[in-house]
Structure formats: C-alpha cells, structure tokens
Structure 1
Amino acid sequence: MIIRELRLCQARRALVTAPLRQSCLRALTTQTNVPNTQKSEIPSIFTSNARSSSNTRKRRVDPDKMVENYHMATELKKHIGKVGATVKKVYRPANVFLYPPGPKDVTLELLMASQAHMGHHTSLWNPANARYIFGIRQGIHIISLEETAAHLRRAARVVEEIAYRGGIILFAGTRPGHMQIVTQAAQLAGACHLFSKWTPGSITNGEVILRGMPATVVDEHDKPVEGYEKFVTESRPLVPDLVVCLNPLENYVLLHECALANVPTIGVIDTNAEPTWVTYAIPANDDSLRCLAVIGSVLGRAGESGKKRRLEDAKQGTVAWETPIEVQKFMAEERANAAREAERIAAINKAQSAA
C-alpha cells in the first residue's frame, strides 16, 4: 500500500525532479498482490457480460415476403395506375439522329432546345452580325431564332433544288463530333462528306492533287453507265456544285477556294464569324453539337426530298439536268470513232468481196 500511494501521489514530482533508473521504474509499476477473491470475481464479471451481449446481438430473421409484396403492388397499381398527370418527354437529343427533322419540322422550340440561340461574349462579336442578334444577356449575345429559322429554310430550299438538278453537294465539318453529323446528312442527300482537314488546292489545283481519283458516270436513274472508263481516267476532277460548311472559322481556305471557283456555299455563322465568307449564312451556335445536328439533318432531308423528286420525274421521262459539256464532247468523239471504224470495216469487206 505504501508503494501504491507513492506511485499515485508522488509520481509526478519524482519524475520531474530527477530521472529514475529502469530498475526503480519497474519497482514503482509493480502492484501489490490482489486477494484471490477479487481475482476470481473480475474475470467472471467480464465473461458474464460478454455472454449476455452475444445473446442480445443476434440478428432477427424476418420472413421473406417478396412475392406477397409484389402481388400487393400489382393490385395497387391496377387501382391507382391511371391517377395523376401524364408526363411526356418532348425533346430528346438522340432523336435528331434516329428521326432526322426536315425543313417542315423547324420550329423555334426545336432551335431553342438545341441551343441555337447562344452566341459568344460581347467582346468577341463581329459587327456584321448585328442584324442577327436579338439582345444581350449576362454578357452573352443572343441570336434571334426567327432569323435562324428563316435562313435555315432558305438554305434547305437551295440544297433541295441543287439535289433535284443532280448537283454535287459537299458537307464539311472538321471539328471533333462532326463526323456523325456530316456522314448522316450526306447519306440522306446522296452527297459527299468531309470530316478531316481540307487539303488546300483541292478545287483551284484539283487537276494535280486529285488526279486519278475514282469517279462514276450515272444516268438519269442514278445507275452506273458502262463505256466511260476512258473518260473517267482522263477527265478533270469534279468540282462540287454546293458546299455546306459547319465551322467556317476553321475552313477559311475551303471557302476562299469556293469563292474563286464560283461555287456557292452555306455556312453556320456565329456571332464571332464573318457572314460574307459564305453565300448563304445560317446564324446559329456553331459550338453546340445539338444545333449542328439539327441543321445537318434539316439540310440532309432537303437534299433527300430533291433527290426523290428527280428520280420520280425521271421515271416519267422528265430529266431536270443536262449532260455536262465534257461528257457530250466525249460521246461525240466516241460516235465519230465508231462511224470511222464501221466505214473502215465496210471498205475492207468490199475489197475482199471484189477480189
């Protein structure tokens, strides 16, 4: 008991005044013998508590009522299933590719849902686009959707008429995410597409850059015609009759070459772009893939309708386009060569018969 009192009362003072040896510390930490009665009582208390706690902590197992709850929910749904409002999803971004809209489906609600009205910051605007801007909100120019719808319908009309007359249409979009848009639009309109970098000089110097590119000659029913292999290999590369550009800022070289070759162009013009670069401008947000998907689908549907009109008229004997001058010259030369060959063969046969 003396050692215990010394440890409890004088331990702090003894440790502070002078350091103690290891043997002294061992002597201070030893305890006096505890009576056997206390030793036996302490473990018994802990063991009894552990046993009681283990019995109370057993998890209750509830009966499985999954089938019963399912039938109950089914019966409840029969009674209250038709109660409440019917919620319909008006706009889904994936529907632009599953069900491409046409020129008749262009509405202000569709354009707003596709974020076509969002322009750039006021510090980045081009004053030439002032006629397309509706206002300013939080430092951002808002494009007038009425102007967008009107210009989009006009561009769709141009695409439809060029497709009706058998023209070559090129859909170009070189930003990430434009590949699916331009390929679907070209597939609908029966046109060409470009989603990689434009090769400079493909129009102005196409005779050198595009030499030997494959081409086909088709009739009024869009079926390949045989006998023009020589013409295809020796003819000049084709030049598109219309170019639809989704990002004019990155394709200035393409638009410049189209202007030099008198090729009409259609471009999506944002508030920071130059509208005079293209022939037919569509004021809209060129950074939104939803907006570009809507515009590409509308123009693709317009080309599809023009192509259908041309094929229907061709079945009735009406051809809306004329044979190119180069093809006419090639056909005239082939006919002249065939006539000379027939005359030569006739002369040979006549000489053999006279002999």
Structure 2
Amino acid sequence: MANKVEVKELLDAGVHFGHLTRRWNPNMAPYIYMERNGIHIINLYKSAAKMQEAGEALAKIAASGRKILFVATKKQAKEIVAEQAERANMPYITERWPGGMLTNFVTIRKAVKKMASIDRMKKDGTFNTLSKKERLQVDRLRAKLEKNLGSISDMSRLPAALFIVDITREHIAVKEAQKLNIPIFAMVDTNSDPREVDYLIPSNDDASKSISKVISYVADSIVEGLSDRKTSKDSKKKDENDEDGGGKVAKSEMAPKLKKQKAEVPSQDPEDQKAMREAKQDVKLQSKQKTLDKASDDNGEEE
C-alpha cells in the first residue's frame, strides 16, 4: 500500500503551478482549479489522488519482478530521475531518446552487447593489441554507448511500464509505448494531452522541486513493491524448507514402524508344522495300505 500523499507538501513543492493560460490543453480542464495572473493552477487534491493511484499500480508491477523505465531528458529533471531510478534499481533514459528504443529493441540490445564486448576486450588484453588510432576510436564508441545506453545495460527485455516527465517533450517515447501497448505513467502539465497517458499525475513538470517530490514518491512506491516481493519469496522458501523437513521426519518415523510391523508378523507354530507332517505321513500310509489290500484281494481271486 503506497503512502498517503499530503496536499500541503505538494503545495510547498510548487506542484500546483501550471503553464500560461494561452498555452493550455483543453483536455486538462478537469484537473485545473483556477486561473491566476495568466497562469493555470492545478487542483492538488486530484493530483494527490492520482499520485496514490499511480504509486499503487507501480508497486504491483515492481512486486511482479518486472522493470519500469524512467524517461526524462529535461535538464532540470536528469539528475533527480537518475538518482531516484538507481535507488529503486530501475533503468532510465536521461540523455537523448534513442529512436526505436522500444519498437526496435533487438538493435538496441546489440549496441549494449557491443559495449559489453569492448569491456571484455579491455579485460583479456585484446584492446592493447590494437593500434593507437583504433584504441582511441573504440574508447570514443564506448563513451558514446555508455552515455546513451549505460543505464539500460541490465534491461534484457522490454519494460513493463514507462514513467515519463513531460510527455510533450518525450512524444517519441509515448508513441513507441502506445504502439507496443506498454502502460504509460507520467507527470502531465496543463499544456499536455492527458488522453495519451494511462496513469497521469497532474503536476508542474518544469520546476525541479515539483519533479523531485513526485519522482521520490514514485521511487518509494517501487521500493515498497520490491520489498514485498522479497518478503513473499523468503516466506515461500521457508515454507518449502519446512515441508521438506516435515517429509524427512515423517519418513524417518515411518521406517521403524514398518520394521516393527514386519517383525510382528507371526511365524507358524512348530507344533502345527509337526501335526501337518504327521498328517501327511498318515495319508501316505493309508494309501500304501490300500494298495497292499488291493494286491492281496487280486491274488485271492486268481487262486
């Protein structure tokens, strides 16, 4: 369960400041409280509700073990997003959005593998066998790849969701996510279209304080989801160990019982065995006597 959002904290962070009224998007009307000095004021009660809703959804995604990709190429958002995404152990893009990052993910993965191969070359000494010019070129390529793709080097498959700061600026990322039906979470200002986002947070996406407040809350929700996942894994492992231990105990307890049962099977009484032998002898004697009697009768008749 995500922590409750305090409206006063949002107010102190300046989350309520929107854009100039002449630059507004009419679809944001439900989230605008009023207009003051030519600037739209965002309804913070709705912002708080939407933040909590987004936080709960992100926590569930994190608890399932899937990745959430953070996207923010704005100067005032780069450091904040990078810091919070690393804290939540999630991938992020803070430089230029590489075209086809989602729709052509196979090619992006090849570039990441190329970066890994350069690192292997440096470890095994192959890099030192290159000429000075070639080493310089490889170093430049490695630096370029690290700058653009270093933060997603551990992302082996498409993310389960995107969190975007300023969907107007990151419109390419939005289009790619829509094409692949990837859920979009975003900070949406009064100049953006909320219909392009699955989970919007009406907020000021220009001020660093506002961005920091929203992103830190989102990161906290993801961390909470990850901790729930770890707890459930540990409890499941413990239950499996208990079951294995119980099975072993039961088996060890059954063994002596089975032995006991085998030992308790009664053998035949010696007297009974003797009686059986005597009966068999009697039968044999009787049959022999009958044979002798018959032979004697036959001899008498012949005489």
Per the normalisation by structure 2, the TM-score is 0.62
**Which residue of structure 1 lines up, in the alignment, with residue 57 of structure 2?**
158
Quote the residue 1:45 is aligned against: none
Q: Which residue of 1 aligns with 2:300?
A: none
Cross-structure match for 2:174: 255
1:239 partner SS: coil
Supply the distance in 2 between the matched residues of 1:275 and 1:161 (Cα, whole angstroms). 22
AA partner of residue 262 (structure 1): N
Tell me the equivalent position of 1:300.
219
User: SS state of the match for residue 210, structure 1?
Assistant: helix
1:118 and 1:278 mapped to 2: Cα distance?
20
CA distance in 1, matches of 2:186, 2:50: 11
**Which has more helix, going by share of residues?**
2
Taking the TM superposition and a 5 Å limit, the aligned residue runs for 1:14-93 are none
Residue identity matched to 1:124:
R
Q: Which residue of 1 aligns with 2:193?
A: 274
**Cross-structure match for 1:126:** 25
Q: Read off the aligned partner of 2:66 and give its amino acid letter.
A: G
Q: Does 1:199 pair with 2:98?
A: yes
Please tell me whether the aligned partners of residues 63 and 226 of structure 2 are also in contact (alpha carbons under 8 angstroms). yes
Q: Indicate the SS of the match to 2:33.
A: strand
Deviating runs (4+, > 3 A) in structure 1? none
Cross-structure match for 1:79? none
Mapped contact 2:166–2:189 kept (Cα < 8 A): no
Partner of 1:186: 85
Q: Give the superposition deviation at 1:105.
A: 5.3
Query: Is 2:161 the partner of 1:242?
Result: yes
Q: For residues 192 and 19 of structure 2, what CA distance do their matches in structure 1 show?
A: 10
Letter in 1 for 2:158: V
Which amino acid counterpart does residue 310 of structure 1 have in structure 2? R
Note the alpha carbon deviations across 1:153-186, whole angstroms, 9 max, x for none.
1111111000000011111110112222112221
Shift of the alpha carbon at 1:139?
1.4
The residue type equivalent to 1:282 in the other structure is I
What is the alpha-carbon distance in structure 2 between the residues aligned to residue 212 and residue 120 of structure 1?
A: 39
Cα offset for 1:150? 0.5
Instruction: Please state how far the C-alpha of 1:194 moved relative to its aligned partner.
Output: 1.2
Alpha-carbon separation, structure 1, partners of 2:60 and 2:222 = 8
Counterpart selection for 2:42 from 136, 143, 165: 143
> What does residue 94 of structure 1 align with?
none
Match of 1:172 in 2: 71
Q: Which runs of 5+ in 2 are unaligned?
A: 114-154, 238-303
Larger Rg: 1
- Whole-angstrom distance in 1 between the partners of 2:161 and 2:47: 20
Distance in 2 between the 1:108 and 1:168 partners? 29
Partner Cα separation in structure 1 for residue 67 and residue 156 of structure 2: 12
Q: Which amino acid is 2:88 matched to?
A: A
Residue type at the aligned position of 2:183? P
Supply the distance in 1 between the matched residues of 2:38 and 2:3 (Cα, whole angstroms).
Answer: 33
Measured after TM superposition, the shift of residue 103 of structure 1 is 4.6
Task: Assess if the C-alpha contact under 8 Å between 2:164 and 2:186 holds in 1.
Answer: yes
How many residue pairs match? The answer is 198
Check conservation: 2:76, 2:206, Cα contact below 8 A: no
Which of 308, 311, 315 aligns to 2:234? It is 315
**What do residues 252-272 of structure 1 show as CA deviations (whole Å, max 9, x unaligned)?**
000110011111011111111
8 Å CA contact 1:206–1:237 kept in 2: the answer is no
Amino acid at match of 2:99: P
Compute the TM-score of the two structures, normalised by the length of structure 1: 0.53
In the TM superposition, what is the alpha-carbon distance from 1:111 to its structure 2 partner? 0.4
Q: Which residue of 2 aligns with 1:99?
A: none
Q: Is this contact kept in 2: 1:132–1:147, CA < 8 A?
A: yes
Aligned with 2:206: secondary structure?
Answer: coil
Tell me if structure 2 keeps the 8 A contact 1:242–1:263.
yes
Aligned residue number for residue 265 of structure 1: 184
| Contact persistence 2:4–2:52 (CA under 8 A) | no
The residue matched to 1:287 in structure 2 has which SS? coil
Amino acid at match of 1:180: E
Identity, in percent, stands at 29
Structure-1 separation of matches of 2:103 and 2:92: 19
